[in-house]
Structure 1
Amino acid sequence: MKIRYLMLHAYGMGGTIRTVVNQANAMAAAGHQVELVSVVRRREDPQFRLDPRITLSALVDQRGGRRPDSVPRRAWRRLRGKMVPRGEFAADYFTEAVERAVMDYCAGLRDGVLVTTRPALNLISARRTPRSVVRVAQEHMNLSAYPEPILREIARHYGRLDAVTVLTRTNRLEYQRLLPRTPIVQIPNAVHKVDQEPSQQVNPVVVAAGRLVPQKGFDLLIEAFAQVVPEHPEWRLRIFGDGPRRGELTGLVEQHGLGGHVSLPGRTDRLERELSDASVYALSSRFEGLPMVMIEAMTHALPVVAFDCPTGPGDVLRDGVDGVLVPPRDVDALAAALDRVIGDRRLRVRMGREAAKTARAYAPELVMPLWEDLFAQLLHGERVQDDFWGGR
């Protein structure tokens, strides 16, 4: 099969980039002809390993800090593209020239499978990619997280696509209600591997990871941990990741006098080691798609304490079995759950053991063949089933 993946920034970092690259690598390893196309390029080299059989290209080169078209920032709003609606989280990337480059690329295809990986690209593909191409839209975020302009465009245009893939059962049901005539297929992202070094539950460390942005709710986690420290002063919270809210989060740590208890070490290349050295994983997101770092933590036999936010945590975790779910944004409940799990090593060991079992459903050898089956069915014009995945 000829499979093309169209991404916003294949040279960047992030959970979506990593999972799409992993999928492309798996398809190349299975013998398919794979192309990875980046809308923009802002770095010299990809941050994740690419199979050498994959062809990598970019539509718009923005290395060196150049704005596309040499457009000054003050003129950007007048020259922003027309097809990507406001409210798309990456709308700032889509000037007229960037949007035109994507439209021309999609319109120039004639065969194979085109996989687009975010609403902006899904919408352009739905309206510009010829019907001779199998058009698969990946959704990595839950539907309810999108503002009204995006929802209107999804409802208006996604019906032209051959399939929309989502990460969780909750998402599948949401999209089916909005798009009753469109094949909505649930295929979760796969973890890197499931046979990881397990936590020995000896280090008094809670770990969290992700972009330092409001979505991830690390401000709420710091507030909750401030309640935990008086009862468990030997415990530490380590939040890995970079982003625009670092200064604000650092200020919050100082405000609560947590300098000796909470650290923000930045991005790390050794997250697997950090997970195996920890004893609890905390997920404090305001919303999610499918929280892959959480599932990766579970492969290390870490129990999870999480907000039951839309969507993801509740589609993976079994409350009281492999983790603890608390109401979204309820800081006191998050603090109480952390206090309970931190204070009971036997509970952590039991939940961690179950967490590792749960994570096995996301093994690459189980998930990647589902993509091959989906692409093959669509190429042969077969009716697509929406219950590809046998997990939750």
Structure 2
Amino acid sequence: MRISFLLHNGYHIGGTIRTTFTLAQELAARHEVEIVSVFRHRDAPILDVPEGVTLRHLVDLRRKSPGYDGGHPDFARPAKVFPRGDGRWKQYSALTDARIGDHLRAVEADVVVGTRPGLNVHLAKEARPGGPVLVGQEHLILDGHTYRLRREIGHQYALLDALTTVTEADARAYRNRLRLPGVRIDAVPNSVPAPSVPPADPAAKVVVAAGRLIPVKRYDVLIDAFAEVAAARPDWKLRIYGTGDASDNLRKALARQIERRGLGEHVFLMGTANPMEPEWAKGSIAAVTSQRESFGMTIVEAMRCGLPVVSTDCPHGPREIIEDGVDGRLVPVDDVPAIAGALLALIDDDGLREKAARAARTSSERFDPARIATRHEEIWTELVTRGHAGRAHGRLGDALHRAAGGVIDAGYSLKARIGRLVRRFR
């Protein structure tokens, strides 16, 4: 198959970029694969381009580049195709609308894969009979989107051939809350490669946490919990890795919290590490205290390195990754005593910690890229083979979908809306 991924910015770093590169690398052994990045802001991508995969861009943001697009008159005009509800809308423009549209109309591929809602909407709006199979990927969660974006998803996604989510819980949300006739909805988790470092030493007296420095990760709760750990086991340390958009203020707040709690010799803000594998391997327990997770890539990464994970049982990912009491622990969200107790249970029992570490390595093998790529291949092959029989083409069919199922939390009766639409299209 010829497979084309459409990515926001393949020259940056982040979970969606990393998992797309990992999947593309695995697929490239058997298929023709390209990654099309809407934006390019640097000469070389931060992550290595997978062997056998082509990476190209549509809009050049490098000021010193001969192809710099920042001065194009359409670059300053707001996007109309890319939906306002998508959190990246301000970065898009009339220029990106045109470039993405031109690309999708000309792309020679069997399967085109969008990797965020705004790009999935573009795919849907360019759906055409005889065109490539269109697959939208959801790397976040339906409930995490704004009402405005959920309405746009409801309007447009019926013209996709398939939608994949990273958890079964989110797949159920899409099936139950949206009516997308003919759209295949499957849960396919993100993949994480086998680590290139030896497994972590269960005897290491280090707890590791990693992720963007954003409020939803609740590192403040983790620091409070570790204050209880340090009081009982002062020889243990906590290392927190990560930066993020507008993270400087949060980092300063966390640093003040560490100082206020007298944890300067116990808790360390480590900044970014790339690759992260060697840092996971220096610990023996991982901690995740998020209020919500769309999946939980860091959980899988830690488990693959041999760390049992103490995680909040937040929507949606952790409970689909961790088997509570076997390869980690699930605790209530924002519950400082529960987090501290779960950490201490593993810290105080060397045998339990070692057993959980072995279980974590074994159970996390189900997220190996080869297994995940095979699942995507099965879905896409079936769709390519059947053609587009399930896609809701046609103005009336599309309009009826929008009235009957696409609009979320509609404000007037379904019967009246359908009647008006049928009269309009007679």
TM-score (structure 1 length as normaliser): 0.90
Mapped partners of 1:334, 1:70: distance in 2: 51
Instruction: Map Cα deviations across residues 29-57 of structure 1 (whole Å, 9 max, x no partner).
Output: 12x11111001011111122223422211
Matched, 1:368 2:369: no
Q: How many pairs does the alignment contain?
A: 380
Matched, 1:334 2:339: yes
Amino acid at match of 1:198: P
Taking structure 1 as reference, are residues 89 and 227 closer, same or farther at Cα in structure 2, changes over 3 Å only?
farther
Instruction: Map Cα deviations across residues 271-307 of structure 1 (whole Å, 9 max, x no partner).
Output: 2122122010001122212212211211122111001
Match of 1:171 in 2: 170
Mapped partners of 1:49, 1:170: distance in 2: 32
Instruction: Map Cα deviations across residues 134-174 of structure 1 (whole Å, 9 max, x no partner).
Output: 10011111222112111111112111100001111111111
Matched, 1:81 2:79: yes
Instruction: Tell me how far 1:316 sits from its aligned partner.
Output: 1.0
Match of 1:303 in 2: 308
3-state DSSP class of the match of 1:311?
coil
Q: Is the 8 A contact 1:194 1:363 kept in 2?
A: no
Instruction: Tell me how far 1:22 sits from its aligned partner.
Output: 0.9
Match of 1:5 in 2: 5
Instruction: Tell me how far 1:110 sits from its aligned partner.
Output: 5.5
Match of 1:20 in 2: 20
Taking structure 1 as reference, are residues 300 and 55 closer, same or farther at Cα in structure 2, changes over 3 Å only?
closer
Q: Is the 8 A contact 1:110 1:130 kept in 2?
A: no
3-state DSSP class of the match of 2:103?
helix
Match of 2:222 in 1: 221
* Range with greater deviation from structure 2 (122-131 or 248-257): 248-257
Amino acid at match of 2:37: S
Match of 1:192 in 2: 193
Which runs of structure 2 are paired with 1:27-176 in the superposition (5 Å)? 27-30=27-30, 32-64=31-63, 69-70=70-71, 79-109=77-107, 111-131=109-129, 132-176=131-175
Mapped partners of 2:307, 2:190: distance in 1: 19
Match of 2:360 in 1: 355
Mapped partners of 2:72, 2:353: distance in 1: 54
Mapped partners of 2:163, 2:91: distance in 1: 23
Q: Is the 8 A contact 1:40 1:62 kept in 2?
A: yes
3-state DSSP class of the match of 1:100?
helix
Match of 1:210 in 2: 211
User: Please, what is the CA RMSD of the aligned residues?
Assistant: 2.5
Q: Is the 8 A contact 1:308 1:326 kept in 2?
A: yes
Instruction: Tell me how far 1:189 sits from its aligned partner.
Output: 1.4
TM-score (structure 2 length as normaliser): 0.83
3-state DSSP class of the match of 1:278?
coil
Instruction: Tell me how far 1:382 sits from its aligned partner.
Output: 6.6
Mapped partners of 2:142, 2:313: distance in 1: 16
Mapped partners of 2:154, 2:347: distance in 1: 45
Taking structure 1 as reference, are residues 92 and 295 closer, same or farther at Cα in structure 2, changes over 3 Å only?
same
Mapped partners of 1:103, 1:224: distance in 2: 50
* Range with greater deviation from structure 2 (10-19 or 286-295): 286-295
Q: Is the 8 A contact 2:63 2:70 kept in 1?
A: no
Instruction: Tell me how far 1:87 sits from its aligned partner.
Output: 4.1
Gaps of 5+ in 1: 385-392
Amino acid at match of 1:109: V
Gaps of 5+ in 2: 390-426
Amino acid at match of 1:6: L
